[in-house]
Chains A and B, each alone.
Chain A
Amino acid sequence: MQPQQRRVSLSSGELTYFVAGEGRPLVYLHPAGGVHWTRVLEGLAESFTLHVPVMPGFDGTSAHGAVKSMPTLAKLIGEFIEKVVGGPCDVIGCSFGGCVALWLATERPDRVDHLVLECPAVFRPKGARPADAEALRKALYAHPEKLPADSKPAELEAANRRMPPHYRAPDDTDAELLAKTASIDKLTLILHGTADRTIPKESVQLLKSRLPRSYLVYIWDAAHAIEVDQPERVLAVLGSFLERSEGFIVNWGTLALDAG
């Protein structure tokens, strides 16, 4: 399923986005590495109309002068949903995108239905970040052999990874976001890899404890890049949650094949 690249004019500038598939609309907010068309996105596009905005400054796009913080970035995504999707929709955010998604739920709750936070990059303790590309690769993947051969050029990856600091306060422990989290009433699924060394489990445990209507599911044998390490497991949980909402906690057995 080939995603189509499109553009939309928003209040602070032009935004590039991809769209693929047919079905209920679903917005996916990419990680700090930019947009990777993973097997998870391919799988989601089989059941949903998947909208993937490229956040300003990522993947060679231009930053928007008026968008310099996480709240303003979240508001921009809210505007994108309003203009492109229409009504509120389910939103998935992956890592950095998970942080944006959480801000979106606080700044534009009217644009969000179900929320999925894949290894969200929030509430991280201060400390050392991977020193170089190789250290980053080790931190991101439990199974680097599963990485697709057509990964992005290193320069583009590096440029992408310079963007999160552009949007975040110097202290990225997200104290302001943490204070707002308890007011989010969206049904939320948090996913975290059992071998994630980028976002410690304590961060997602804290998030889980603050989000009143949330589920936390660990993806076995996955590091931070859960979509690369274990795409089938991620898809199984995502599909069930987005299809059945709270009912995803039930084992539907053979009825799951046709229970709709």
Chain B
Amino acid sequence: MKFSFFHLMPYTHLELESHDWPFPNRYFDPAKASALYRTYVESMIHAEACGFDWVGCNEHHFSPYGMMANCNLIGGALAYPTKRVKIAMIGNLVPLNNPIRIAEEYAMLDCMSGGRLVAGLMRGIPHEYLAYNIPPGESWERQREAVQLILKCWTEPEPFGWEGKHYQYRQVSIWPKPMQKPHPPLVISASNADSARFAAEMRATMGMVLLADLPSGKDCVRIYKETARVNGWEPAAENVLVGMHTCIAETDEEARRWMAHGLKYFDQVLMGGLQASQRIVLQKTRYFENEESRDRWKSRLDKRRTLTLDEAIERGTVLCGSPETVVAQIKRIHGELGHGVFNFTVKVGTLPDEVIRRGMELFRDRVHPHVRDL
């Protein structure tokens, strides 16, 4: 089992109240953000010494939910102070950006890190489409086309042009090309049937975060593996990534107390405004290709919103507790999903950074030795 130290890089200096998206930036203090960036990046660098295999981050816009409009900048900051860990950009929001630019920046990161990039090619969550004024109804078309264009950028030996529906280029020949051949490993989100199929078709690692429950995750893994076989390949355990909020402390009580503290800010402030904008996108557009996928997404969000922390732990959608408890939780979830990469979202809302640091050391000393060979 590989472990990923994943950071959302939230802005944590706000009152406990929600605002509609986009969150007014009059509340943003650059000096505080500067200190947060330093703390967060230092944590990610420290993750290597704590036994993590990947350090990861992602892209979000116009809210304190995550301060990474371009997570590749953070990837650049991680490339030289680290030596071993994979730099996991999970990832760039493909339909929102210029695919050529994504191919170029990822190739830079792969070269800068000596071939340690994990290239996440994400479709993004619904409200992000408002930020860059991209029609949500085109998200799947853009995603499918752009991912193939990015792969062409990485693998074509000659300058080429591209005449597509959403992207047209006459001459492409990116410098640099990625160090990993034929290209860096891909991660594509696969939290519903459509995206699971697409990830398998692209021979990408499937990424599932914010699970509503283990049975729905298990269903996505089944669809992913079936589709992979139809497409002529057999996924390994490491091709399944599962991500969860994670808090490890000395005791179960302490971990639950801190997780509850962090979740309060996460749910009320960071997720509060997003829910309104997401509802508008989902109701008014064809972000999802069919009713079933849309209903599953809404149901997943509703389930998560109404779950207590105890219920979430019980369902296996959150990792929280003492090292021994977390070892048991990891084994249980691995037994259900058979995944090979566990992605820990460690900065849950206002969960204090010193608690996270202590949790990283507990992971190194008392969790990792018991689960690394799963």
Contacts and interface: CB of A to CB of B under 8 A. Distances in A.
A201 to B, nearest CB: 8
Contacts of A209: 157-158
A210 to B, nearest CB: 10
B160 A217 contact: yes
A233 B158 contact: no
B163 A219 contact: yes
B219 interface: no
Contacts of B162: 217-218, 220
A78 B170 CA distance: 30
Contacts of B167: 220
A236 B160 contact: no
B159 A220 contact: no
A215 B165 CA distance: 20
B215 interface: no
A138 B152 CA distance: 23
B285 interface: no
A205 interface: yes
B165 A218 contact: no
A221 B165 contact: yes
A178 interface: no
A18 B171 CA distance: 34
A69 B160 CA distance: 32
A248 interface: yes
Interface in A24-66: none
A205 B160 CA distance: 9
A159 interface: no
Contact of B161 (A205, A218, A221, A250): A218
Nearest to B152: A218
B97 interface: no
B324 interface: no
Interface in B136-160: 145, 148-149, 152, 156-160
A216 interface: yes
B170 A215 contact: yes
Given A218-B152, A249-B171, A233 B164 contact: yes
A145 to B, nearest CB: 17
A143 interface: no
A237 interface: yes
A191 B144 CA distance: 20
A161 interface: no
A236 B170 CA distance: 12
Interface residues of B, number: 18
Nearest to B164: A220
A243 to B, nearest CB: 14
A220 B152 CA distance: 11
A108 interface: no
Contact of B163 (A205, A217, A249, A251): A217
A217 B170 contact: yes
A215 B157 contact: no
Contacts of A186: none
A220 B161 contact: no
A209 B160 CA distance: 11
B170 A233 contact: no
A236 B158 contact: no
A124 interface: no
A173 interface: no
A233 B157 contact: no
B272 to A, nearest CB: 39
A208 interface: yes
Contacts of B165: 220-221, 233
Contacts of B156: 205
A240 to B, nearest CB: 8
Contact of A220 (B148, B158, B171): B148
Interface in A225-242: 230, 233-234, 236-237
A248 B171 CA distance: 10
A164 B163 CA distance: 29
B158 A208 contact: yes
Given A194-B148, A220-B145, A249-B170, A236 B159 contact: no
30 contacts: A194-B148, A205-B158, A208-B159, A208-B160, A215-B159, A215-B170, A216-B160, A216-B161, A217-B160, A217-B161, A217-B162, A217-B163, A217-B170, A218-B160, A218-B162, A218-B163, A220-B145, A220-B163, A221-B145, A221-B164, A221-B165, A230-B163, A233-B164, A233-B165, A234-B163, A236-B163, A237-B161, A248-B170, A249-B170, A249-B171
The 8 residue pairs across chains A and B that have the minimum distance between CB atoms: A220-B164, A217-B161, A249-B170, A208-B158, A233-B163, A216-B160, A237-B163, A249-B171
Interface of B: 145, 148-149, 152, 156-165, 167-168, 170-171
Given A217-B170, A220-B148, A237-B161, 12 more contacts: A205-B156, A209-B157, A216-B158, A216-B160, A217-B161, A218-B160, A218-B163, A220-B149, A236-B163, A236-B168, A237-B163, A249-B170
Interface of A: 194, 205, 208-209, 215-221, 230, 233-234, 236-237, 248-251
